[in-house]
Structure 1
Amino acid sequence: MKKVIAILMILFALSVNAQVYNPVKWTTSVVKISESEYELIAKAAIEKGWHLYSQTVPEEGPLPTKFSFDGKGEYLKKGNTKEEEGHVVNDPIYGMKIKYFENKTIFKQRIKIKDKAPKQINANVEFMACDDTKCLPPKQVELLFKIK
């Protein structure tokens, strides 16, 4: 009986450890700028004590936040994805000055529709979240921008 209880405790501990922690939650919205231009907005809500890195980080640093948009030829990207100011700090994990975001941040991408506006635009964001002592493995999240 003791062996059965020990095995059950080990299985329970493994299942608790296997749960993925996600301190960054993403939401999307779309703002119409003109008849053919839209701004795609991705908002990141970041749990207290965690941070999300900028799209531009030094070499040998952490994985930068990266956006990829699935265009299917329906639109053109206008410039690069813009990000907020953020904080530049001496990161204790990487030992270098790195720009990152705490609490929340917004990324914006302008697009120009070629012909008929699509009903939605699919995108992916790849990012890495860290606190002051550790980083979680890189994560990729699918984003959906609904155009009204």
Structure 2
Amino acid sequence: MLFVIGSISYAQVHDPVKWSTSVKKISDKEAELVAVATIQKDWHLYSQEIPKGGPIPTLFTFEGDSRYLKKGNTTEPEGHVVDDPIFEMKIKYFDTKAIFTQKIRLKSAEKFTVKGTVEYMVCTGENCLPPKEVELVFNVN
């Protein structure tokens, strides 16, 4: 029984990715939602575009709101394409830091909050943690 409790506790505490958010105003009608993943040494975060049979891709979801309109898809940095030993395929991932951006068209001049989630999976060269979902909040001024 103690072993099970210890394993669950470790899984809850150990999170090799920390997320931060900001909003970059481009013009009176456009802004960019910025989500930064800071990744611990020896871990990597997978891309949004992963071949079938691979790990869970990073996925951003934004709550709908009448004050903004999403423009295009969430963009990501270049990253590294490697032969992944766990999934035995070429996979794009990020280490150390990854900056994801989502452009929005502003339909209101008032301040508001955009809520969203990011689902992601992280691995080392030897093991992976289960997929995780984190809530994100972007304060649009």
TM-score (norm 2): 0.93
The Cα RMSD (Å) is: 1.2
Within the candidate set 71, 87, 95, 2:88 is matched to 95
Within the candidate set 2, 16, 19, 1:26 is matched to 19
Moved more, 115-124 or 91-100: 115-124
SS in 1 for 2:92: strand
Give the letter for the 1:54 counterpart: S
1:134 aligns with 2:124: no
Deviation for aligned residue 1:141: 0.2
Tell me how far apart the structure 1 counterparts of residues 134 and 111 of structure 2 sit (CA, whole Å).
Answer: 21
Deviation for aligned residue 1:124: 0.3
How do 1:1-148 and structure 2 match up within 5 A? 11=2, 13-19=3-9, 20=12, 21-148=14-141
Deviation for aligned residue 1:86: 0.2
Tell me how far apart the structure 2 counterparts of residues 121 and 87 of structure 1 sit (CA, whole Å).
Answer: 30
- The unaligned stretches of length 5 or more in structure 2 are none
Q: Deviations over 1:29-79 (max 9, x none)?
A: 001100011100000000000000000010111110000001222211111
Tell me how far apart the structure 1 counterparts of residues 90 and 38 of structure 2 sit (CA, whole Å).
Answer: 23
The answer to whether the 8 A contact 1:74-1:118 is kept is: no
Tell me how far apart the structure 2 counterparts of residues 57 and 73 of structure 1 sit (CA, whole Å).
Answer: 32
User: Aligned pair count?
Assistant: 138
Tell me how far apart the structure 1 counterparts of residues 73 and 110 of structure 2 sit (CA, whole Å).
Answer: 20
Tell me how far apart the structure 2 counterparts of residues 80 and 125 of structure 1 sit (CA, whole Å).
Answer: 14
- The unaligned stretches of length 5 or more in structure 1 are 1-9
Give the letter for the 1:74 counterpart: R
Give the letter for the 1:52 counterpart: L
Q: Deviations over 1:77-129 (max 9, x none)?
A: 11110000000000000000000000111000000012344421101000001
* Identity percentage of aligned residues: 53
Tell me how far apart the structure 2 counterparts of residues 145 and 72 of structure 1 sit (CA, whole Å).
Answer: 13
